[in-house]
Amino acid sequence: MLVGVCDFPSDYAFPPTGYGGIERWLWAVAVGARRAGAAVHLLGPRWRAELADHWTLRPVRLEGLSPADQAARVLRGDGYDLLVVGHEYPSLPGWRAVADTVGAEIATFQHSSTFAHRPDAFDGRRSRLYTYSDEMGERYAAHHPTQELAVHLGLDEVEPPARPGDGLLWLGRIDNEKAPHLAIRAAALLGRHITLAGPIFDSGYVDRYRHLFSAPHVTLAGEIGGQAKSHLISNARALVYTCAREYLEAGAATFGESLRAGTPVAALAWRPGTCAQAALCPDSGAIALIGPDADDEATAHALARVTDHAATLRAPDVQDIGVSRFDPERHFHALAIAWPW
């Protein structure tokens, strides 16, 4: 089986070393495909040049070609069985014009809760859309989605053996949609230190909650990648996941990253059917499910209670669950479901 994994214009390289969403998912698919025994071509110019020593790089993007171009003819001649791409591309006429002539199946994972697809983008067979949670499946029901837990990997991120950590960790982009101020307040209620790791996307949001972000029990670690990120997650007692009331999480990478490291997750959910419910079980985390009308203080108290409970879970058990549920090879098998393995 030959798989083409497509990059796209991005501020981050492929694979990223720190933050990144779809970029990390595409790398996990490439790694999983290779582990499953498939041949893999990395398509597009954004793949890291140093990968050329061990991977086949094809620095072309389908949307930059026409079916008559020589490069398009080369792609057809390669005989791809599956193309894996970011969620927008099966709905982009320029990309589909070439992809449809390649003759491969198409698979993508919905990493946005707002993108509107063309009615004919997916048929559920040769072109397949995957979604993380019940609510994402319902949102994209017209496109025949398959529910599946997304797996994300960065460059050189290898989890060490599980160990009980110290302190709390919040991981992601720092902005209003992700609402880390709730995690900071929950940590204060527990008398625990919390580290926030990730890039600041909204400085105005940080300014509004400056009294929380500047508190003595808070460390802003910035964006961290590679082995430093793996060890940061592994060394935490629990990871705290938050989001804003109106935010619909399409597929958070942090669940899989944390559980694979053996770090349990305390998650905030504003309604049933979210990614938190899809990703976690009683042996790997705890969820504060509260109504959207709860104020920040009540929310922080509920989050503190489940964080305190998550911190009691055994790290080796959490890692066993995480390595099994968020395994790149298992994930690739789900994406290539039409193929006998």
pLDDT digits 0-9 by tens, 302-334? 999 999 999 999 999 999 999 999 999 999 999
Backbone angles phi, psi at 85, to 5 degrees: -150, 160
Lowest average pLDDT, out of 9-18, 175-184, 213-222, 286-295, goes to 9-18
* pLDDT tens-digit map of 13-35: 899 887 778 999 999 999 999 99
The mean of the pLDDT values for the chain is 95
Q: What is the largest CA-CA distance in the chain?
A: 65
- Mean pLDDT for 78-85 is 97
Alpha carbon distance 73, 79 (integer Å) = 10
Average pLDDT over residues 137-151: 97
Mean per-residue pLDDT, 216-227: 93
Residue 226 has pLDDT above 90, yes or no: no
pLDDT reading at 129 higher than 80: yes
Query: How confident is the model at residue 314, as a pLDDT?
Result: 97
Q: Which domains does the chain have, with CATH numbers?
A: 2-151+327-335 (3.40.50.11190), 168-323 (3.40.50.2000)
Q: What is the mean pLDDT of residues 242-263?
A: 95
Q: Calculate what percentage of the chain has a pLDDT beyond 70.
A: 99
Average pLDDT over residues 41-60: 96
Question: For residue 15, is the peptide bond before it cis, meaning its omega torsion is within 30 degrees of 0?
Answer: yes
CA–CA dist 242, 268 (Å, integer)? 5
What pLDDT sits at residue 321?
A: 98
- Name 2's bridge partners: 39
Q: What is the mean pLDDT of residues 142-154?
A: 95
Interatomic CA distance for residues 122 and 108, integer angstroms? 10
Q: Is 80 exceeded by the pLDDT of residue 338?
A: no
The predicted structure's pLDDT at residue 339 = 61
pLDDT (average), residues 216-233? 93
Q: What share of the chain is helix, strand, coil (3-state, %, to 5)?
A: 40, 15, 45
